[in-house]
Chains A and B, each alone.
Chain A
């Protein structure tokens, strides 16, 4: 069963997390972009995260891709807090310093296009945390995100320290899917390898 596809972006792709990429992912986790997050100490923990990434996608809780350009893992793009029945999800990109802003935007767009087409997600949120690069906000605005709110002291960065969070949204103009009877198609599990007749490729 495959739930997370590999998608092309200029110069590379976004692809499912894989055990072969453990070293690249570990390097990414040595440079956390999230304020207050510490570098990961134990590489073994990433094995569990890769397991989770499959389970999350299978149960429509989230989806995670590695961003690979120029043959190097430069970041991750993820969807989490997936509200499948409300057609909502929150996106996030984590990148190494080598990840350019255009690569960040391309990866985010590829993931969002897939989630829009495959799962009919209409409402994408992105949380920018005070202390992160201001350039991330420019990338979001170029993709059409609009700032909806600034949450005061919503992100804890230390024992007694907190940062504000700005929440951006992008709403799809696509019409909502029409509900059908259960069993009318085989897409309930959203296995991307399955055909409309239910056969697995």
Chain B
């Protein structure tokens, strides 16, 4: 089963532990990439090595999968898009993305359908959801939930006090995409 894909402008590939540490650190050391999760940005250059090892193990157990989105024109990693908490019995999973400032809606519109098609057609996932903080602005003035809506996700509600971050209880909004081919 091939988990690596290609679009006109991007490689969508699983990370390589030995070589992707620097690119991952460059992506995840910015608060703007992780504020919607929410999570602290990376601050120590050893962190990507641990993260890459962890996600390799999670992928091997098919608990999660993360793809790096590499722009063909300059080989720069502009985003990481992953699925986690894969429930193979219920056939659903949670989507998570970390976007550099270079990754906009146009890039997501090229990349994400390839991933969702793979999840729904090849892996038979019926439901894909993202849980996130709302109103985190993107450089283009849009928000993550704005991107999700443009990509066909629907708002389902907001779960209160899901975690504590920076001393505050954080509510997480839920957006989902369901497999329309089997929904009716």
Contact = CB atoms under 8 A, between A and B. Distances in A.
Interface of A: 86, 88, 122-123, 125, 147-156, 160, 162, 167, 169, 171
Interface stretch (B51-59, B70-78, B132-140, B154-162): B154-162
Given A153-B127, A153-B179, 18 more contacts: A86-B164, A88-B162, A123-B160, A123-B162, A147-B157, A148-B159, A149-B158, A151-B174, A152-B127, A152-B156, A152-B176, A152-B178, A153-B178, A153-B183, A154-B127, A162-B127, A167-B159, A169-B160
A160 to B, nearest CB: 6
Contacts of B127: 151-154, 162
Nearest to B164: A86
A138 B163 CA distance: 27
Nearest to A160: B182
**Chain A at the B interface: SS class:** strand
Given A150-B157, A167-B157, A156 B91 contact: yes
Contacts of A160: 182
Contact of B156 (A122, A151, A162): A151
B91 A151 contact: no
B129 interface: yes
B116 interface: no
Contact of B162 (A86, A153, A154): A86
B126 interface: yes
Contacts of A156: 89-91, 126
Contacts of A88: 161-162
A122 B161 contact: yes
Contacts of B159: 125, 148-149, 167, 169
Contact of B126 (A122, A148, A162): A162
A150 B155 CA distance: 9
Contacts of A125: 159
Contacts of B126: 153, 156, 162
Nearest to A162: B126
Contacts of A147: 157
